[in-house]
Amino acid sequence: MLRGVARSQYGRTLAVGGMGALGAVVGSMVLSDRERQVQCEADGGEAKSPSTVMGILSDIHEKLGRIETAMGVSETTPIKPAPVASFQLPPSPGAKIDVVLGAQWGDEGKGKLVDILSQEYDVCARVAGGSNAGHTIVVGGTKYKFHLLPSGILNEKAMCVIGNGVVVHLPSFLNEIDSLTIPGVEDRLKISDRAHLVFDFHQQVDGHLETKLGRHKIGTTKKGIGPAYASKISRNGLRVGDLQNWPYFEQRFRSLAEHHMNSFEGLEIDVEGQLEYYKNISNRVGKLTIDTIEYTNQAYADGKKILVEGANATMLDIDFGTYPYVTSSNPSVGSVLTGLGVSPNKLRGIYGTVKAYCTRVGEGPFPTELEMSVEGTVGHHLSSVGAEYGTTTG
Ligand code: IMP
């Protein structure tokens, strides 16, 4: 296992595990280069094997089905019909929500997989977490860096949704949009009115808490994720939609800033400067802000294909991960329901991505570690060939 500089770039080997009823890894594929269109559409080879990623996933699904059948737990095993079955509405034809999650400690290559898959979906969504450490996607020689936007934004036919479970640092979010040289991005982007805001002072507090922890630090990204979720849970946070009611926003912001200055000695917040900034961007943000719960459910009812791009990974889950060395949200499947506002029976495929070796950023338990800095070692080889260097963290 590798620790330290693990961040996603692409051109690596992925093992993709079908996370069906067995939660087993049943297949693998090699996503070998940066030409996703070639991967997606024109893999023409001798092909007994499927030529598209969707084909590969169907193949995996089929294999999983066979394993399940062999173990006697197949979906096709006759199940006594439940008496209330008639209450279950079948999904509209073509409708589905598929989910790609990280099944290790993050940086398994979700972005690459999602980038390829998203070409075939109508809506791509983020449901939890905040600006993560980021990944780079190269299309036609142009590099795009993503931290918060779903990488589906590169599919010019897809709508992108930032769900209510996400926490958003608007200055970084707007910079990320501005850095994309793709026309009409803001016409295809919707952000939930319920998504909570990460303020600069949340980021300062994140750094301060890490410093205070000293050698017991969590190794956070210092993007203010934990402190912003803390404000959400303390019920004194602000949400994206609050910007559209300026007197309310101003009053809540002053009170939240004061609360933080009282709680963290030495913390200084330029309250007037921040208010001016947020007032200036409120119109721009307002045009992107909607009730994404209604939007997503309507899209589902209209038969649209929806893809959820998970952030972080299961072992960083606040409930299921290696607490306290975790992030502050639920990167596992539960957050798709709560962070997008959809019911469980709307989910179809749930795919966990894994790497052949593990990497971890930050602190926390990691049973076997490889030396990465010494040339000639296995760790050094894996980290250089696997390009385990980050968009943010290097
Ligand atoms: P936070 O989400 O910044 O609070 O960081 C909490 C933990 O999650 C730390 O161990 C981070 O290194 C880890 N983490 C956060 N974002 C990522 C990511 O994108 N990839 C891998 N690890 C991450």
Whether residues 240 and 131 fall in one domain: yes
Query: pLDDT tens for residues 229-263?
Result: 999 999 999 999 999 999 999 999 999 999 999 99
Residues in the chain: 394
Q: What CATH number should be reported for the domain holding residue 166?
A: 3.40.440.10
Ligand 1 atom 20 nearest Cα: 106
Is residue 292, in this structure, part of any structural domain at all?
A: yes
Q: How far is the CA of 361 from the centre of ligand 1 (A)?
A: 7
Residue 362 Cβ inside 6 Å of ligand 1? The answer reads yes
Query: For ligand 1, is residue 221 a contact (CB within 6 Å)?
Result: yes
Smallest CA separation from ligand 1 atom 5, residue:
220
pLDDT band, very low/low/confident/very high, at 11 (cuts 50, 70, 90): very low
Distance 42 CA to ligand 1 centre (A): 36
* Tens of pLDDT, residues 128-150: 999 987 777 887 788 888 899 99
Higher pLDDT among residues 159 and 4, named by residue = 159
- For the question of residue 232 being annotated catalytic, the response is yes
For 182-189, what is the mean pLDDT?
A: 92
CA distance 38 to 365: 39
Q: Is there a single domain that holds both residue 324 and residue 234?
A: yes
The pLDDT assigned to 19 comes to 35
Asked if 240 contacts 161 with a C-beta cutoff of 8 angstroms, the reply is no
Q: What is the pLDDT of residue 109?
A: 85
Q: What are phi and psi of 116, to 5 degrees?
A: -70, -45
217 CA distance to ligand 1 middle (Å): 12
| 281, 333: one domain | yes
What's the total number of domains in the chain?
2
Specify the range with the lowest mean pLDDT, choosing from 88-97, 183-192, 228-237, 271-280: 88-97
Nearest residue (CA) to ligand 1, atom 21: 106
170-176 average pLDDT score:
96
Ligand 1 within 6 A of CB of 210:
no
The Cβ of residue 193 has, within 10 Å, a number of other Cβ atoms equal to 18
One domain, residues 18 and 119: no
* Residue from 216, 229, 316 whose mutation best tests the ligand 1 pocket (most atoms within 8 A of CB): 316
pLDDT band per the 50, 70, 90 thresholds, residue 45: very low
Helix, strand, or coil (residue 161): strand
Ligand 1 neighbourhood includes 218 CB (under 6 angstroms): yes
The 10s digit of each residue's pLDDT in 304-350 is 999 999 999 999 999 999 999 999 999 999 999 999 999 999 999 99
Residue 388 resides in a domain: no
Domain of residue 24 covers 2-71
63-77, 82-96, 189-203: the lowest-pLDDT one: 82-96
What pTM does this model have? 0.78
User: Which is the catalytic residue, given 112, 190, 232, 305?
Assistant: 232
The reply to whether 225 and 302 lie within a common domain is yes
> Residue 197 belongs to what H/E stretch?
strand 196-197
